[in-house]
Amino acid sequence: MRTAPTILHLDMDAFFASVEQASKPSLRGKAVVVGGLGPRGVVATASYEARVFGVHSAMPMGQARRLAPNAAYLVPRFTLYKSISERVMELLRALSPLVEPLSLDEAFVDLEAGGVAWDEPSARLAGVKLRADIRAVTGLTGSVGLAASKMLAKIASEEAKPDGLVVIEPGTERAMLGPMSVRTLPGVGPATGDHLRRAGITTVEEIVEAGEDELVRLLGKAHGHGLYAMALARDDRPVVAEREAKSVSVEDTYDVDIHDRTRVGLEVQRLAERCVRRLRGAGLSGRTIVLKVRRYDFSTLTRSETLRGPTDDPAVIREAAARLLDSVDTTGGVRLLGVGVSGLADYTQEDLFAQAAGERAVAEGPVEEHAAAAAEEQPSLAERRWPAGHDVRHTEFGHGWVQGSGLGRVTVRFETPDSEPGRVRTFRVDDPDLEAADPLPLVLRGPDGGGGGPGAGSQAVSSVPASLPKSWSGSGGGAATSRP
């Protein structure tokens, strides 16, 4: 195990919600909830202001609305989030060739491998500079943890939230971990946590006191050994630059249960085609086709079929998904459907294309007809959908975003990331002067392509309320303290 805190973990603060606040001046400092807004939607991210009311990610949206009825509820803009994430990841890769992304807003970095840190002062300096660069380039804040291992770096970044930096110096790990909840350790979810609690183990120090043999007895050999090692702050996992995908899948949850068997079949075909597009976009193919069905009673069934070799052929994958559906009883209704492909490879096997060749003329014909019909059935002006939070442009009033729509009306607030809070106006949903628009950049770029300074009109926006405490760490000004 290394002896310097040169593993960095970055976690952007309330990422989706912070992006929305940065792009919408009227929402800064306000409770914002991003997620699916339908009856079965869930919270993707809640701003810190919304978390004060108990709203958190993965919570049913209905429950969030009851807890925070006055919050702004917005539909995610994943294309924008991804573009901002790519800029953050570029900053991380400038630090080191060993960057391990965990999600759009979270990653590990091996600073030592990049030659930018070799001891505590140099690691701290790299972390402070990274946070400043992220703010300059994106207008957002991120929390940084620095430690000698991945596990400790992630724990440190959690303690740094929001908008802070925490360094765990080697030699202090056991004292820091001891009083923490067992749930702090990776791999300890609600079930394992309850199992340990019933055995009288609630803190990390109590895991150490119980001993390795007791952990193995309670949790099994692999889990027990691993958990005991983590309680002793032992974690030798390296930062891995490339995390190989194990599967590609898509799924949809329906606001109303689907009872019609024909409709279920059409949905599975549509999901199969989306899955193929995602496969091809990643340059991958796969051998195993997986169908996921969640029924009206929340029971979830999965069926799979393994082909002779990997494929990305839409006809083959559609037919396999249809065969799998034949083995599933959908009586009573379906609330979720998913299609996935696993056993991935970066090539396809020619005989699978030959297998589908005889059917392709028949299989693809209806798809082309369906596409043509869909093109002819583009929504009229009166049928256009206006998702809450998405960008629009009006020929007279300029750029804005949708606050809400219904009863033939759409309400828009006209403002931009670098403007004052804007005015609200209401239009008919079929107003020909109103159209969907692309998001605007959160930070205006300077002549060199980077974020401009204040004189250039850029605006670095922090969505974190100043009143929130920062455990162990300094604020965004760069000061930071180490855990004693």
Q: Which residues form the catalytic set?
A: 106
Give, for 132, the enclosing helix (H) or strand (E).
helix 120-138
| Amino acid, res. 86 | E
CA distance linking residue 416 with residue 442, whole number of Å: 9
Give φ, ψ of 115 to 5 degrees. 70, 15
**CB distance 191 to 207 below 8 Å:** no
Instruction: List Cα–Cα distances, 441 to 193, 269, 395, 397, 462, in angstroms.
Output: 43, 37, 20, 19, 15
d(CA 81, CA 13): 13
Output the CA torsion 344→348→354→360 (10° steps): 70
In sequence order, which ranges of 220-349 are alpha helices (DSSP H)? 221-231, 261-281, 314-326
How many CA atoms lie less than 13 Å away from 8 in the CB half-sphere?
35
Tokens encoding 94: 């400038």
**The tokens of 439 are what?**
């998001």
